[in-house]
Structure 1
Amino acid sequence: MKILVVEDDQIIREGIKEFLEEFSYTVISAKDGREGLEKFSKDINLAILDIQMPYMNGLDLLKEIRKESQVPVLMLTAFNEEEYKIDAFTNLADGYIEKPFSLPLLKARVDSLIKKNFPNQETFSYQDLEVNFSSYTAKLDGKDVDVNAKELEILKFFLKNEGQALTRSQIIDGVWKDSEEIPFDRVIDVYIKELRKKLKLDCIVTIRNVGYKLERK
């Protein structure tokens, strides 16, 4: 998921970026409203906007974003006055956080908005790879790749748990249905090997003595 963070305070901006990237979010940052508008694009999944910024404040930037997108937007404000909150919601913000705030709280709000607005992720893009989980198809460098359904189900399970280390048993419990014959846990290693080979998924990393994790670079 790609997040746009627009904040004129460098320490806060870099702190948010570094913290969210630890949880495998892709963060695009901007130091003022004008730069934020320039960096906003259709592939942004969520925006975090400070209100008081030079050149263009966060509320004006929100108005511009709403002209072309309904992407979830979280406002950061140092003000307690109701007028700022009312203005934010009037312009269709999805929430606000008052400064000072904790980074874990911010992440919880981000996770909640992402889960609410993107409940069923049916596609996956990574470098030159495009996967469609609805049609069980994959393309690498624009060419079809022969993958089986179970390989893609495992990939989708990784995507749902992106950034988390998963044991082989957790993968089996999450992917194999009750009606299916449960494989030995080491079979997961074979599936991972095939995913890495066929789809060039170097983002599936081995966690020693634990299992595997999807972590986009």
Structure 2
Amino acid sequence: MKNIIGEKTRIMIVDDDKEIREVISVLLSNENFEIIEAGSGEEALKALSANIDLIILDVMMPGISGYQVSRVIRELSNVPILFLTARTQSSDLVLGYSSGGDDYLAKPFSYPELIARVKGLLRRYTVYQGKKVHTRKSEYIEWGELRIDCCRNMAWKCGKELELTSTEYRILRLLLAHPGQAFSAQNIYESIWEEPFHSGDSNSIMVFIRRLRSKIEDDPHHPVHLVTVWGKGYRIE
């Protein structure tokens, strides 16, 4: 999935359970991914580098938890993070997304589910990551202070580039392409994740909206660009 011929996509697996790391490593190696393993959050942060394309991160680990690791990573990188968790209550998922995660995989998981989640995140990230080397003619969407280059997958506010994750960018692009139109949580989820919507996913969308507001609003607590339409969803004004 790399642009450079012969260079493999590199995935870091972070889990204190050696057997789980080995199982995931074998499965992903069979898909021709290059694997880096870390047995703790501390080890993962030491091994973090710009050439890692995806991080599979266990939530419950001794020492630094997966949530804490994710928050540190988000200060340094927009690399996609896939949480591994045995806790799938809505509050747990919201906490994961709040700390910077892009998706989650519930334990125990199946081989097809693991591969589907990994490839889905990588596909979206590969497109977004290629923004600075794209040579096609730019196509812009502009609304007020916000501007998006749809070909290079870049976004600005008042001329300053926004540092967005691939998921945040896709949500912003969806809303900016239809200014004034309200999108429900279900509309957004199914458009971005390309999966069936479940009631608990509403809280996940709320978290991503909050993350977006923190980057595009002068005062995220009193948004003027990305507003809530009560009973309908969210829209760009």
Q: Which TM-score tier does this pair reach, normalised by the shorter chain? A: 0.5 to 0.7
Give the 4+ runs in structure 1 shifted more than 4 A.
none
How much does 1:55 deviate? 1.6
CA 70–120 in structure 1, closer or farther in 2 if over 3 Å, else same: closer
How much does 1:92 deviate? 2.2
2:74 corresponds to which letter in structure 1?
Answer: R
Structure 1 residue matching 2:43: 3-state secondary structure: helix
Q: Which one of the candidate residues 112, 126, 129 is aligned to 2:120?
A: 112
CA 121–54 in structure 1, closer or farther in 2 if over 3 Å, else same: closer
Task: State how far apart, in whole Å, the 2-side matches of 1:84 and 1:38 are.
Answer: 26
Partner of 2:75: 67
Q: Contact between 2:57 and 2:82, CA under 8 Å: does it hold in 1?
A: yes
Q: Which one of the candidate residues 92, 102, 111 is aligned to 1:94?
A: 102
Task: State how far apart, in whole Å, the 1-side matches of 2:27 and 2:70 are.
Answer: 23
Unaligned runs of 5+ in 2: 1-8, 136-237
How much does 1:90 deviate? 1.0
Task: State how far apart, in whole Å, the 2-side matches of 1:121 and 1:44 are.
Answer: 12
Structure 1 length-normalised TM: 0.54
Percent identical pairs in the alignment equals: 36
2:70 corresponds to which letter in structure 1?
Answer: L
Task: State how far apart, in whole Å, the 1-side matches of 2:40 and 2:128 are.
Answer: 33
Partner of 1:85: 93
Partner of 1:53: 61
CA 82–17 in structure 1, closer or farther in 2 if over 3 Å, else same: same
1:54 corresponds to which letter in structure 2?
Answer: P
Structure-to-structure mapping, 1:1-217, within 5 angstroms? 1-119=9-127
1:84 corresponds to which letter in structure 2?
Answer: D
Superposition RMSD on alpha carbons, in Å? 1.9
Q: Which has the larger radius of gyration?
A: 1
Partner of 2:168: none
How much does 1:133 deviate? 10
CA 22–34 in structure 1, closer or farther in 2 if over 3 Å, else same: same
How much does 1:121 deviate? 8.3
Task: State how far apart, in whole Å, the 1-side matches of 2:134 and 2:94 are.
Answer: 40
- Which deviates more, 80-89 or 34-43? 80-89
Structure 1 residue matching 2:76: 3-state secondary structure: coil
Task: State how far apart, in whole Å, the 1-side matches of 2:61 and 2:129 are.
Answer: 34
Task: State how far apart, in whole Å, the 1-side matches of 2:82 and 2:129 are.
Answer: 21
How much does 1:31 deviate? 0.8
2:75 corresponds to which letter in structure 1?
Answer: K
Unaligned runs of 5+ in 1: 123-131, 135-217
Aligned residues: 125
Task: State how far apart, in whole Å, the 1-side matches of 2:90 and 2:134 are.
Answer: 44
Q: Structure 1, residues 68-108: CA drift from partner, whole Å, max 9, x if none?
A: 10111000001133222111111221110111001221111
Structure 2 residue matching 1:119: 3-state secondary structure: helix
Task: State how far apart, in whole Å, the 1-side matches of 2:34 and 2:64 are.
Answer: 24
Task: State how far apart, in whole Å, the 2-side matches of 1:70 and 1:121 are.
Answer: 9
